[in-house]
Amino acid sequence: MKRLTMLLSLFVALAIPAVAQAADAKAPDELVEIDGKKPVVIKPDRAYLLFRVKGKWFAPVFMRVPTEAEVAAYYAAKKAAFDKALPDLKKARDAALAKQAAAKGTKSDDEVPPEPSLETFDYHHPDVQNLQSINLGKALEKGKDEKLMLIEAVPGSYVIYGAGNQNAMLACMCLGSVGFEAKAGEVTDLGAVHVAIAWQASDDPVLAGETGLGASVNGHWVMPAMGVAPATAPSAPAALAGKPVVTASWRAIGKFVGPPVFNVNRLAPVAGVLSYDARGRVIDVKSGEPVADNY
């Protein structure tokens, strides 16, 4: 599993009401691939994600929505870091202002830092790694253009965040995606994740409307197209015989702002779950209503 970066902008926007849980500082990988070489053991305190990846090159990136306790811990840690850094931030700003005043109106290329504030303080929180990509080399079963993945995960609320390759985030599905719940002690069958190159036409019906975009998107970094075909009924491989397998209950996720990525795209429409109107707004198919943006 490749850890990417902690996602901060979606903490409050995507968080759903939940019982506060203690955050595990310095926790092990949140998502761990199971390669099928050993018998599968379902741990009662872990959730399991089962899905097929159809296509080459790209792997899904999952984001776990932080718990209320993790959100509170983040803001407390950020406040402590800001308080510690504040004297140096003020000193740097005062020095820049003094240099600007000494220039007596002549042009200076030196920027004056903004007034220090907790809101604008640049802070990286190391204790939670809730955005991770999948290593397709560690599959439960492998085919030519399809891999069956079984992922041990932290129980919680997840979002299909984007598509990557190893530890590179190639595209976020920031313009519309889907999410699901993963419960402890259960294997959640997600169905199939379809991936392809967006500028090339694909004969995959899941991706037909999101591919063939032409050379205008054939840039320095390849733009992935991505879609989900939900499981209609649990489909367990032999390795999971007798294990508790349930189908995912998907929900539409509105537009969001992600950390720096090479490309921004949207998930292909998902039958019964996700669609878009003529203006590109995310629509919850179940209710027929637009989904609120997460920024």
- Give, in degrees to the nearest 5, the angle at Cα 159 between 194 and 75: 150
Is residue 160 domain-resident? yes
Regarding whether 80 and 103 lie in a shared domain, the answer is yes
139 and 37 part of one domain: yes
- Per-residue pLDDT at 244 exceeds 60: yes
Query: 100 and 113: one domain?
Result: yes
Sequence-distant (≥ 6) Cβ neighbours of residue 16 within 8 angstroms: 65, 157
CB 200 within 8 A of CB 222: no
**Residue 240 shares a structural domain with residue 274:** yes
Q: Is the pLDDT of residue 166 over 80?
A: no
If asked whether residues 32 and 137 sit together in one domain, one would say yes
Q: Is residue 13 part of a domain?
A: no
Q: Quick one: average pLDDT of 174-196?
A: 96
Q: Which range is least confidently modeled, 44-48, 101-105, 136-140?
A: 101-105
Q: Report, as an integer, the average pLDDT of 206-231.
A: 83
Is there a domain that residue 12 lies in? no
Q: Which of 127, 146, 161 is the last residue of a domain?
A: 127
Report if residue 19 sits inside a domain. Answer: no
- Position 106 scores a pLDDT of 65
The count of domains in the chain is 2
Same domain for 229 and 119, yes or no, is: no
Domain final position from 127, 144, 164: 127
Same domain, 172 and 224: yes
Which residue range forms the structural domain that includes residue 114? 67-127
Mean pLDDT of 46-75: 92
Structural domain includes residue 185: yes
Judge if 91 and 165 occupy the same domain: no
Q: Are residues 28 and 59 in the same domain?
A: yes
Task: With a cut of 90, say whether residue 37 has pLDDT above it.
Answer: no
Residues 60 and 120 both lie in one domain = no
Domain boundary among 112, 127, 142: 127
The strand pair at 131-133 and 59-64 is best described as: antiparallel
Domain co-membership, 157 together with 58: yes
Q: What is the pLDDT of residue 186?
A: 96
pLDDT band at 109, cuts 50/70/90?
low
Residue 18 — pLDDT band, cuts 50, 70, 90?
Answer: very low
pLDDT higher than threshold 60 for residue 1: no
As given in the structure block, the two tokens for residue 65 are 């929505």
In a domain, 17, yes or no: no
Q: Does 87 fall in a domain?
A: yes
Q: Is 213 exposed, middle or buried (0-12, 13-18, 19+ CB in 10 A)?
A: middle
User: Could you report the per-residue pLDDT of 64-86, keeping only the tens digit for each?
Assistant: 999 999 999 999 999 999 999 99
Residue 284 placed within a domain: yes
User: pLDDT: is 66 or 219 the higher one?
Assistant: 66
pLDDT computed for residue 190 by the predictor: 96
In terms of domains, do 38 and 85 share one?
Answer: no
pLDDT digits (tens, 9 = 90+) for 122-145: 888 877 778 888 888 889 998 888
Q: What is the mean pLDDT of residues 193-197?
A: 93
